[in-house]
Amino acid sequence: MEKRVSNAPLLSLAVDKTAAEPAYRQVYEQVRRAILEGRVAPGTRLPATRSLARELVVSRNTVLNAYDMLLAEGYTEGRVGSGTRVSGILPEVLLAARSAAVVPARAAATDAAPAAASTTTLSRLSRLTEEMPRMDQRARGGFRAFRPGIPEVESFPWDIWGRLIGRFWRHPPSDLVCGGDLAGHGPLRDAIADYLGATRGVVCGGDQVMITSGAQQALDLVARLLLDPGDAVWMEEPGYAGLRGAFTAVGAEIQPVPVDAEGIDVAAGRRLAGDAVLAAVTPSHQYPLGVTMSLPRRLELLDWARAADAWILEDDYDSEYRYAGKPLSALQGLDAHGRVIYVGTFSKVMFPALRLGYLVLPPALVAPFGRLRSVLDDTPSLAAQPALAQFITEGHFAAHVRRMRGLYAERQAVFLEIFADAAAGVLEAAPDEAGMHLVAGLNGGLGLTDRDASARAAEDGISAPALSAFYAGPPARQGLLLGYAGLSDAEMRDGARKLVAALIA
């Protein structure tokens, strides 16, 4: 076991570079424990980030990320770069934890049973999240290259957006100020229905559109609406972890169904769980592999849903960004029997903090969804919905999508050029006709699994999720998911250099 021990005068820290836990998390946990146990007194100045990084033989970003987490949670105060000290007045919850933490921490070496037993109080979902790919919310500011799904925000028409927000909210209608329709702002729902009909071939009226607080809430509400504990659900293998979490939360039994060059293998799904209640798919651009579901496979899936009286959840997460070939219509537009539930989001098209998504429900599910929402939820924030409705109806949304489609196509080409040069012999990526990320294969001669590679990248401030983490079972492929849409040419070059250096170190 390879360990580097710090000679810092106040702390004795160790970073185990063979551990699965990222180095920044190890530093954070050890400093936090020292504070809780009283080994570092309030007001004590922590070692400078540069000197601690040098002593631990890790990157400075590793220590910065650990210190940022301590600062965000109230363990420290001050500004990183000009001195970080242990908080003089700790929150009451920390004071209570301090007295309770001393004995278990000292006893851990001889008796690990209490810590292990405590996990039995967690839910099944909580335990499974340990194996699911995720982005630590506190670390987001420290990761830019190459986080998948992050759009270009510098080019967003902020002046138009700000004008629309101001235009509506200077004199808002009193009925909206006091609340609105559970399904969302009516004009926005109508605008979405018109837009989807024109661009994606979705057949619906505004009354079938339900506004949600992002796509993840939409997935969660669908799972609650349709699934009972023990119900079988088809999920693409590999597939989106957010779906796995939503289905697990309601007690569904997930049946991974392999994806091939034509999309989800419907014949395999029939063999594995023909009686499934729901099939969750990303037909326009399979996540994470990027495969497009063929027309015969789409029709086969619709035939299965009709015969099995099952539902299809169509996640159309980045359908706007197709760079080659004819735009594909949504699966929902082929559905003649009302079996498809369509999910979309504005987070990847506009900006993530908007936190608005939507569902297009079959007519038979509109009333049940309304009843469910009335007891579990409320309408999403109306602060942005009126402005978004105008943004769409006045043509600004379509114009922005067209600009970004051209920009992202250029950025994918630049990304491939940079990696062909900087990562030759280390990583290999092929062009994709759609999307905002590429899957890069690892050179087997590196002797690294993709999870090892992802962990190394994270230590140097690079986000590169492991493809194998998106499999529920043994992974058929390994690689790294690398987003390019939100990065400038310079950021891609710098990120590629850091990523390659981390992998060959």
Cα 26 from chain centroid (whole Å): 23
Least confident of 121-135, 288-302, 432-446: 121-135
What CATH number has the domain spanning 399-504?
3.90.1150.10
Point out the least confidently predicted range of 98-112, 138-152, 193-207, 272-286: 98-112
The pLDDT tens digits of the residues spanning 465-485 come to: 999 999 999 999 999 999 999
Checking if the pLDDT of 41 tops 80, the result is: yes
pLDDT band at 318 (very low <50, low <70, confident <90, very high): confident
Which burial class, exposed, middle or buried, applies to 499 when counting CB atoms under 10 A from its CB (0-12, 13-18, 19+)?
buried
Q: Say yes or no to pLDDT of 129 above 70.
A: no
pTM: 0.74
Count how many residues are written for the chain: 505
Q: How confident is the model at residue 103 (pLDDT cuts 50, 70, 90)?
A: very low
* Least reliable range by pLDDT among 26-30, 93-97, 276-280: 93-97
Q: What is the Cα–Cα distance from 255 to 274, expressed in whole angstroms? A: 10
CA 82 to chain centre: 33
Provide mean pLDDT across the span 60-77: 82
- Predicted pLDDT at 109: 38
Does position 181 have pLDDT exceeding 90, yes or no? no
Q: What is the residue extent of each domain of the chain?
A: 3-121, 158-394, 399-504
As a CATH number, domain 158-394 is 3.40.640.10
pLDDT, mean of residues 106-130:
51
How is 241-286 classified by DSSP, letter by letter? HHHHHHHHHTT-EEEEEEEETTEE-HHHHHHHHTT-SEEEE--SS-
Q: Contact at 8 Å (CB) between 248 and 230?
A: no
CA distance 76 to 335: 56
The partner residues of 78 in beta bridges, in order of sequence, read 84
| Alpha-carbon distances, residue 212 vs 184, 378, 385, 428 (angstroms) | 8, 9, 11, 38
CA atoms 425, 241, 216, 28: torsion sign:
negative
- Dist CA 440 CA 419 (whole Å): 10
Cβ-contact 349, 320 below 8 angstroms = yes
Pick the CATH number of 3-121 from 2.40.128.110, 2.60.40.10, 1.10.10.10, 3.20.20.60: 1.10.10.10
pLDDT at 501: 95
Distance CA 218, CA 359 (A): 6
Residue of 85 and 108 predicted with greater confidence = 85
| Angle, alpha carbons 12-13-17 (nearest 5°) | 150
Residue 505: the pLDDT is: 80
